[in-house]
Structure 1
Amino acid sequence: MTGPTRTKGAATRPLIITLIVVIVIAVLGFAYASPYIALNNLKRAADARDTQTVNQYVDFPALRDSLKEQIIGMLNHRLDADSNSKMATIGAMIGATIIGPLVDAYATPDGVAALLNGMPPRGDPGEQPTAPPAATADAPASPPAGDAPHNAPPPERQITSGYRGLNEFAVTYRRGEGDAHYSAIFRREGLFTWKLAALNLNE
């Protein structure tokens, strides 16, 4: 009786090993794809103004801190380029008053939709995020060719995405020579969870 039992056990062992290998490969594949899935889910939710889902994919405290840092850097760069000291002083005063409202405007589902559609903040007084109309079940998320809204991103923009490390994933937007490039940064939380946590306006 021991002979057939051993033979059966030896026959099933390769199947178990194969199953384990398949499971491991599947888990690693899903882990690798997880930021792409998070990006797709977040963009759909942001375009649809699905606040609950957006909140699952955005680290708003971290995004607010990043936006504040980036906008301050943008305004300082403008002031450094201004040779008129009086105008620079006025600009600094104006900049101090617009940073808070601008950060508040972009740390929202509308702001996230704008960021993920190639429309970053410009640092203008009173600026509000511009994004495509909210998608609905009865309307396509993107308008047909030739019917794009006036505020749609330029069609020549290029979007690339990829890992910048084990725990960081970036979506970079390029609009062509002379136009500002920027990146939306996702950071890993756990093995499969990714959240939009930062913006880099100086790509």
Structure 2
Amino acid sequence: MAGTVNGRRGSQQGSIRKPLVIVVIVIAIVAILGFSYASPYMTLDRLKRAADARDAATVDQYVDFPALRESLKQQVTALLAQRLDAKSNGNPLAALGAMIGVALIGPLVDAYATPDGVAALLNGIPPRGEPGERPPAPSQTASSPATDVAPAPGGTTPPSTQPPQPPQTTAGYRGLNEFVITYRHGVGDTRYSAILHRDGLFSWKLSAVDLNGR
């Protein structure tokens, strides 16, 4: 009789444990999926904070610099080619301009494939392909409050010294393993994108840019 009672109790406990195990498994799966979905947003926040602080060691964790360098090279080359095509119009100096443009690509890529360059990219300041171009200094990329300006003698107000407004930013998945942040300073302005690629189940790295904003 005792054995029968114990057997019933064991059966009841087993029937109770099964739903609990299922609930725990479902909660774990939902938590993993939620963390996986949020992981690129968290990576972007950490990367931007580290880049603004010029924390090179942390930036290096979240940037695939060889891939970013190659992407910058391709994008800046395309940018210069478009500019030269627009200006050539049979101009015999176009070839000279092309040679000068090619010579600019290496130094520009080297300058932007750095923590300073990453900070610029994530603050709405992409490379423009200009001669001698370098990322802005840290004080220029960090956001700061607007400065109040007192009226000048005679009642006139001097030109505003307010810093540029931050760009409009949208972010989202473009496929399971690609996350895109698009920047635009105003309606009609040229867009560009910074692209994160998945690096493991929950890890992401900045590895490309799209200066045409596609």
Tell me, yes or no, if the aligned pair for 2:147 and 2:162 is still in contact at 8 Å: no
Runs of 5+ unmatched residues, structure 2? 1-5, 149-160
Equivalent residue pairs, number? 195
Kindly provide the CA deviation profile for residues 160-182 of structure 1, in whole angstroms up to 9, marking residues without a partner as x: 00000000000000112342210
Partner of residue 130 from structure 2, selected from 124, 130, 145: 124
Q: Match of 2:52?
A: 47
Percent identity reads 60
**Take 1:126 and 1:182, find their aligned partners in 2: how far apart are those partners?**
21
Tell me, yes or no, if the aligned pair for 1:119 and 1:131 is still in contact at 8 Å: no
Return closer, same or farther for 1:63/1:173 CA change in 2, 3 Å cut-off: same
**Take 1:80 and 1:177, find their aligned partners in 2: how far apart are those partners?**
26
Q: Match of 2:99?
A: 93
**Take 1:143 and 1:177, find their aligned partners in 2: how far apart are those partners?**
23
**Take 2:174 and 2:211, find their aligned partners in 1: how far apart are those partners?**
16
Kindly provide the CA deviation profile for residues 129-180 of structure 1, in whole angstroms up to 9, marking residues without a partner as x: 0154399xxxxx6322337xx795x426210000000000000001123422
Runs of 5+ unmatched residues, structure 1? 136-140
Partner of residue 189 from structure 1, selected from 160, 181, 199: 199
Alignment of 1:46-65 (within 5 A): 46-65=51-70
Partner of residue 159 from structure 1, selected from 169, 182, 201: 169
CA-based RMSD of the aligned residues comes to 1.9
Q: Match of 2:151?
A: none
Tell me, yes or no, if the aligned pair for 1:47 and 1:133 is still in contact at 8 Å: no
Tell me, yes or no, if the aligned pair for 1:187 and 1:195 is still in contact at 8 Å: yes
Tell me, yes or no, if the aligned pair for 2:50 and 2:56 is still in contact at 8 Å: yes
Alignment of 1:18-33 (within 5 A): 18-33=23-38
Kindly provide the CA deviation profile for residues 41-61 of structure 1, in whole angstroms up to 9, marking residues without a partner as x: 000000000000000000000
Query: Are residues 1:198 and 2:208 paired?
Result: yes
**Take 1:181 and 1:110, find their aligned partners in 2: how far apart are those partners?**
20
Give the counterpart letter for 2:19 in structure 1. P
Q: Compute the TM-score of the two structures, normalised by the length of structure 2.
A: 0.86
Partner of residue 79 from structure 1, selected from 80, 84, 91: 84
Partner of residue 13 from structure 1, selected from 18, 21, 27: 18
